[in-house]
Amino acid sequence: MKNDTIELLMQHRSVRKFTPEGVSPDLIAEMLDCGLRASNTGNMQLYSVIVTQQEPLRSELCKLHFGQCATAPLWLTVCVDVARYHHYCRLNACDEPYGNLLWFTSALVDAALCAQNICIAAEARGLGFCYLGTVNYNTRQIADLLQCPAGVVPVIALAMGHPAEEPRRSERLGQDAVVHSETYHVATDAELRESHRVRDDDPFNKKMVEENGTRNYCEIFTTKRYPREMNESVSRDLLQFLKDSGMWQF
């Protein structure tokens, strides 16, 4: 019999529809405490979590995520945050050396670890959630809405609540695609096609190919969901925001 934690992780599903029931303050506090126990760089915890539940702020935030997960009663925005630590440095008459690429990437990893701990705790308590990549598309607008000062950058968004659906469990690439023994192995064409068969042959994905009129599943991503022009435009906007926020000094 599998350990309950292993089973929980293996059965993960992204939930996008939620009941009207709110999440209790005690449960929110428990999930956040689990997040704060995550590993992080130097035990500096260069992140902050903004909890949004009240209207009209919740609906305004949802709009910036293009209306996704509109029924979610709880939104968590995890931010890279060097502003708090710089404040701590000033109080202790120390230098403020953390507004740069090294510490943005370090804090980004820490924020992700915190967020995933929160999500595991949420699923263990019967909640559902969805990571929203759209936080990268409207970073400046989300930061403005949530009144983030310089040095605070929204990087992870979670819509969360009690599930009103039992969605399909999405396919995942297996170890043959992503795990390398000792050193990196560059896959042959045949190996790559075989390892991605789980994705290309998935009935749901095949239906998406048909509905989108693309040649294959890969082309959905390169021409419909994340095309080059959009990637480059969003990248320019994000880089400018990082510079304005003091997180990119080059």
> Where do the domains of the chain lie, and which CATH numbers do they carry?
4-168 (3.40.109.10)
Sequence-separated (6 or more) residues with CB below 8 Å from residue 49: 32, 35, 76, 77, 78, 79, 114, 118
- Per-residue pLDDT tens for 1-35? 357 889 999 999 999 999 999 999 999 999 999 99
- Per-residue pLDDT tens for 170-220? 999 999 999 999 999 999 999 999 999 999 999 999 999 999 999 999 999
Give the whole-angstrom CA distance, residue 207 versus residue 213: 10
Beta bridge partners of 51: 76
- The pTM assigned to this predicted structure is 0.94
3-state class of 227 per DSSP? coil
